[in-house]
Amino acid sequence: MIDLNKPGELVIKPRYSPRIKLLLAVIAAVVLLVSAGLIYNYGLNRAGFERQSADQTQQTLQDATRKLRDENHELQESLARAQRTIQMDQAAYQDLDKSLKASAQEIVKLREELNFYRNIISPTDKKSGLRIQNLYIESAGSANQYRYKLVLIQALKHESSIHGRASFEISGVQVGEDVVLRVPAANERVISVNFKYFQDIEGKFELPRNFQPKRVKVHVTSPGGASMAEASYNWPQV
């Protein structure tokens, strides 16, 4: 076709038939479909890879969580066993401590008994006759009532028994003055002494409420009143 607007220049424009135009449209559509398919497949592959990676990450986290939970359970069991062991050790230690204390007390008691019988059979000073081995005084429940235990022995020679009486002189302060009280009093029952090897004499006495005892002296006399033995002790903290 000749463009009459521009004289002297010849322009030729191609003309396509409807069939060619249809063919070109079909080719363009096929190209678009193929491109879209490729893009879709790429997206699917990409999404699948990312999903697989996420699944692997989740599985790894689940495995780590399970491992930590198992380790925590083991640690709790170990802690419980350790606590039980400590409790058992503490109970065993307490039992052992009680046993040792009881054994120590028993040893002290046995030593006292050994010394007691040794003094009867073979005293260190080799002197025979009546001896005041010990005197124990403790509260009987109230401020002015007391229990006593007097231990007498006969050392070395035991051919004959010892007969007599025991009494106490308790010195102290009463209303600001020095006072000596005698137990038993003149109107009370006497404390009889009668043994061959040893004798434990136990009893009670009562002191005036306003009397403060300081010392106690033990007398053992014969039936005729002659002194056979005596010993003095500080008043115990009772």
Question: Would you kindly state where each structural domain of the chain is located, as residue ranges?
Answer: 1-90, 127-234
55 vs 45: CA distance, rounded Å: 15
Supply the pTM of this predicted model. 0.55
Q: Token pair for residue 73?
A: 């359970």
Residues 104 and 97: beta-carbon distance below 8 Å: no
Residues 220 and 230: beta-carbon distance below 8 Å: yes
Neighbours of 26 (CB within 10 A): 10
CATH topology for the 127-234 domain: Immunoglobulin-like (2.60.40)
109-161 pLDDT, tens digit each:
888 877 777 777 777 767 778 889 899 999 998 878 999 999 998 887 777 88
In this prediction, what percent of the chain has a pLDDT beyond 90? Answer: 32
In this prediction, what percent of the chain has a pLDDT beyond 70? Answer: 75
Q: Within 13 Å and on the Cβ side, how many CA atoms surround 73?
A: 6
22-68 pLDDT, tens digit each:
666 657 665 666 566 666 666 656 555 555 666 677 788 788 888 88
